[in-house]
Amino acid sequence: MNNSSLGSGSFSAAVVGNKVQVHITWDSQALERVDEYDMESKELITRKWRSSNPLGKKRPWEFEIGELGRGKSDDSSTGDSVAATDLFISSSNPVFMTRDHPRAFIFRVRNLPYPREVYQISLDEEKQQIVLRTSNKKYFKRFGIPALRRLELPLETNALTYDYDSSSKVLVMRYAKPKQVIQHEMEERSRHLSKVSSSEKKEGATDCKTQ
């Protein structure tokens, strides 16, 4: 999902409940993406990708933003489940999730009960990944930022900050978006949402194609 030469693809946009759902396809790469925006705030709630194997069978959705079950349409439109990248057995285990903000990527890990000084965050420049570990060796996670890879932008150490809330046991990491990402997302969001009138309230009200 990190190919910077994908182009804009073909897309359809529709109002689904209180969200705008945008479905984008790249037929030549057998690739599709679904973005969901909140109708009022225009916040990007969900971004998920799916590809097909050489026989045309669709693979499971992979979430870049959001998580399975955060919105009613997360899995109901396809009947498929999210790729198993952070499976957990009980609600007490750590859960990793990415959220979007206009000026930052936000990474949240729930159910981390350790003191703030235990968390160690670094960058692996060779693999272009953020590395989160605990000094007590109880948690370890590597993750990249696909939006940066698509624009072929490197990770910057000074863009990354974090905080820990001991009362909620949530670690929050923020990566400030480079201006290139902000500009690209503004243009893409405007292009997609301009196809849906704010007065349209029913699913499938708009179906526009572009290249």
The residue among 34, 56, 85 that closes a domain is 85
User: Would residue 149 count as lying in a domain?
Assistant: yes
CATH number of the CATH domain containing 142: 2.60.40.790
Domain of residue 75: give its range: 10-85
Q: Is residue 149 domain-shared with residue 111, that is, in the same domain? A: yes
C-alpha to C-alpha distance for 88 and 26, rounded to whole angstroms: 32
Q: Is residue 103 domain-shared with residue 57, that is, in the same domain? A: no
Neighbours of 210 (CB within 10 A): 13
Neighbour-count burial for 6-44, b at 16+ CB within 10 Å, e otherwise: eeebebbbbbbeebbbbbbbbeeeebbbbbbbebeeeeb
Domain tally for the chain?
Answer: 2
User: DSSP label at 77?
Assistant: T
pLDDT tens across 122-145, in order?
Answer: 999 999 999 999 999 999 999 999
Is 0.85 topped by the overall pTM? no
User: Would residue 43 count as lying in a domain?
Assistant: yes
pLDDT tens across 44-95, in order?
Answer: 999 999 999 988 899 999 999 997 654 443 333 333 333 333 333 456 899 9
Neighbour-count burial for 123-159, b at 16+ CB within 10 Å, e otherwise: beeeeebbebbbeeeebebeeebbbbbbeebebeeeb
